[in-house]
A = this chain, B = another copy of it.
């Protein structure tokens, strides 16, 4: 790692007292051998063990900051006291709206230290959507980045703005200073400890395709155990540097804010997905781990700044299966792809495609097919099952599909790595927890080796001539065409077959000129390519070459937009 920290001076309030103690207030009434699981105190241990290590680096802004563990811990403590002074009480919700930056990293610890719940809001939403979430969550305070102010304008809830400077006179720094003053140096021992490990931790609103967003509430215990799993699965340690690409507002950044601290690693935040910047850090900042959806990974490996890496990097991939082409490109760059699967409802990843020793001898194409599967339970997750869909409303019976790699059912799971509930929506919670399991809504098969492979989201399945065609499976095959950079497939109504697949394709830059003005010819070629690989009912009937695909903030393709476009054809 080689950050130039020489020009950075933390604010006076960020400096812990000389005789700092990381001891928490003693919880009374619990047995000696029980301490409630909670991920926030990871910071106390890290600050005790590695006080002078860089915990959080935020270098690519006008005012870069580099917080050591001892300084960051003090700032988190200040935030907790500032929140309490602002009237935040146990169980209250505090909202944060920010790109990846110290503000939102702080919030994942400081809000929990104040025994409150963090409402992490997607920065790509509209002001109306944000207003709905603030109202539904009953958030009592908003921590907002300077660039997200337009989302909360007119709100009657108190707002603390961060200009992302870490310097005096930044309103957020004023807030922290007030917290330090209010604490009267009572320190960590002055903060009450949350006695209930099943209390709420993070509240994330998921924007469904229909209806209002729903609030997914997680617990302290689940956050702790999911973070543990990410350390174990990712083999993160004190020599690791985690680069933030996935937004922290997305499923608590898959619990990596806490996992990185449990491992005493360094976190590096960048405000936007900027491929040359990512490569700068890959090459010069000692990055060892990052997470991202395949579409982001495609951007990374195809960026002109790509160069041989000084050290191996683990790419944790979720959101969709990586293609053979992408896996090959990542490996060629010295990046090890780790394919995981998860949802906001499961604290991010809860399964992993565990590669078997013999895979390394297989040709890339075969290996990629195996690696594209969603895998098996994470270290601290419970079993993953694939069951037949409910026969009628209220059906609680769960029957596993055969382990044949063919029969499609729905992925369900339960246990510590599942959300607590939909906030203030017991009816939706009841529906999501059919038969004592959480229903993911993802359609999958179970392979004979116990590996789950997603076929599609239930709404993305294409019913073509009465057959179920998996849009994902079609995409996987079309993506193997050497001229295809990205592809997305949705159903389009068909007079004879009911539905037929339509493919939207982005060409690789080097092949774009060749097909200019000849998109129809390319479409024919791609359909021919598909016919060699797919059953007839799954072959795309239409191909459209596009310059970009609609995507969410986490890089997932928004199929509802494509379907809306198809509806107008």
Q: Which residues of A contact B (CB under 8 A)?
A: 19, 22-24, 26, 28, 31-35, 37, 45, 48-51, 53, 198, 219, 221-222, 228, 231-232, 235, 237-238, 262-263, 354, 356-357, 376-377, 379-380, 382-383, 385, 400, 403, 414-416, 418-420, 433, 436-438, 449-450
Contact: B32 with A418, CB < 8 Å? yes
- Chain B residues with Cβ below 8 Å from A22 are 383, 450
A242 shortest CB reach to chain B, Å: 15
Expressed in whole angstroms, the Cα–Cα distance for A295 and B379 within the complex equals 35
Contact: B34 with A416, CB < 8 Å? yes
A508 shortest CB reach to chain B, Å: 36
Expressed in whole angstroms, the Cα–Cα distance for A419 and B31 within the complex equals 10
Inter-chain pairs besides A33-B219, A35-B416, A228-B228, 20 sampled, C-beta below 8 Å: A28-B436, A31-B420, A32-B418, A32-B437, A33-B222, A33-B416, A33-B418, A33-B420, A34-B198, A34-B416, A35-B415, A45-B377, A45-B379, A48-B377, A48-B450, A49-B376, A50-B356, A228-B232, A228-B380, A262-B379
- 11 of the cross-chain contacts (CB-CB < 8 Å) are A23-B385, A23-B400, A32-B433, A32-B437, A33-B438, A35-B416, A50-B354, A50-B356, A232-B263, A235-B235, A262-B379
A228 shortest CB reach to chain B, Å: 6
Expressed in whole angstroms, the Cα–Cα distance for A26 and B357 within the complex equals 32
Expressed in whole angstroms, the Cα–Cα distance for A202 and B414 within the complex equals 27
Closest A-B pairs by Cβ, 7 of them: A35-B415, A33-B418, A32-B433, A48-B450, A49-B354, A35-B382, A32-B414
Expressed in whole angstroms, the Cα–Cα distance for A50 and B451 within the complex equals 11
- Chain B residues with Cβ below 8 Å from A403 are 19
- Chain B residues with Cβ below 8 Å from A263 are 232
- Chain B residues with Cβ below 8 Å from A418 are 32-33
A9 shortest CB reach to chain B, Å: 22
Contact: A376 with B419, CB < 8 Å? no
Instruction: Using CB atoms, name the residue of chain B closest to A47.
Output: B450
Expressed in whole angstroms, the Cα–Cα distance for A418 and B30 within the complex equals 13
Contact: A32 with B438, CB < 8 Å? yes
- Chain B residues with Cβ below 8 Å from A232 are 228, 231-232, 262-263
Expressed in whole angstroms, the Cα–Cα distance for A9 and B419 within the complex equals 45
Instruction: Using CB atoms, name the residue of chain B closest to A218.
Output: B33
Known interface pairs A50-B354, A232-B231, A232-B262; A376-B33 also in contact (CB < 8 Å):
no
Known interface pairs A232-B262, A263-B232, A450-B48; A415-B382 also in contact (CB < 8 Å):
no
Contact: B415 with A376, CB < 8 Å? no
Expressed in whole angstroms, the Cα–Cα distance for A53 and B235 within the complex equals 20
Expressed in whole angstroms, the Cα–Cα distance for A416 and B31 within the complex equals 10
Instruction: Using CB atoms, name the residue of chain B closest to A53.
Output: B357
Instruction: Using CB atoms, name the residue of chain B closest to A235.
Output: B237
